[in-house]
Amino acid sequence: QVQLVESGGDLVKPGGSLRLSCAASGFTFTDYYMSWIRQAPGKGLEWLSYTSGSGSAMFYADSVKGRFTISRDNAKNSVSLQMKSLRAEDTAVYYCVRDPVGYLYGMDVWGQGTTVTVSS
Amino acid sequence: QSVLTQPPSVSAAPGQKVTISCSGSNSNIGNNYVSWYQQLPGTAPKLLIYENNKRPSGIPDRFSGSKSGTSATLGITGLQTGDEADYYCGAWDSSLSAGVFGGGTKLTVL
């Protein structure tokens, strides 16, 4: 079945780095944009980034531009989010999401989320 | 402060109808598609409506979406207690070159 499984969430100190990974299965990975969305505790959804099916196009939210980097490995059906210079406000559940067309036309498959906590 | 504006909460009785509004601008809702997501307590969000008014397979026709100008609306009829959740609208913002969400609306079925 179609599935996204995130991993890599952890407790990290402010200023530290972390790499999140998402393993995709059950669909033709290269046919889809892939996005990262996060949700801080008790807060709403925040779009962070997406990459096109080929990986040639990437967009970022201003809040993470220059600190986070999205990448995908189409040979391994995986997408990653490299995060650096982490701040307390980056504490959140991070979701890997499939986006058939990009541009938030409709993100139709969500992972279960992985938790990142930034604290000293 | 979210780019898209939703009411923080709405409520209605079982069996009734409720609408949730999502207000934006020409750079997002006005010129791009709107999608809606349902987040039940403790779970990941789920796609309810895509491309303004289309329902994915498996989403009952009690859920509907519409868009007019720079606003969008999610409608839910025949409310059930299982519909109690947070609902989010989302759209692409062409000026920001980024995705944007509303702050979310908590639906209570009294």
Does B7 touch chain A if contact means CB atoms closer than 8 Å? no
Task: Check CB contact under 8 Å for B97 and A59.
Answer: yes
Determine the distance in angstroms separating the CA of B27 from the nearest CA of chain A, rounded to an integer: 12
Question: Burial level of B60, CB count in 10 A (0-12/13-18/19+)?
Answer: exposed
A47 and B97 in contact by Cβ < 8 A? Answer: no
As a whole number, mean pLDDT of residues B100-110 equals 97
pLDDT of A11-66, one tens digit each? Answer: 999 999 999 999 999 999 999 999 999 999 999 999 999 999 999 999 999 999 99
Chain B partners of A105 at a C-beta cutoff of 8 Å? 33, 35, 50-51
- Please say whether the beta carbons of B67 and B97 come within 8 A: no
B5-18 residue pLDDT tens: 999 999 999 999 99
Question: pLDDT, tens digit, for every residue of B24-52?
Answer: 999 999 999 999 999 999 999 999 999 99
Q: In terms of C-beta density within 10 A (0-12 exposed, 13-18 middle, 19 or more buried), how is residue A56 classed?
A: exposed
Contacts 24+ apart (CB under 8 A), B39-43: B39/A45, B39/B85, B39/B86, B39/B87, B39/B88, B39/B104, B40/B84, B40/B85, B41/B84, B41/B85
Q: Is the CB of B45 inside 8 Å of chain A's CB atoms?
A: yes
Q: Does B38 touch chain A (CB under 8 A)?
A: no
CA-based nearest residue to A35, from A94, A113, A99 = A99
**DSSP 3-state assignment of A75?**
coil
Instruction: Please say whether the beta carbons of B101 and B93 come within 8 A.
Output: no
- CB-CB under 8 Å, B45 with A106: no
Say which residues have a Cβ less than 8 Å from residue B9's Cβ, sequence separation at least 6. Answer: B105, B106, B107, B108
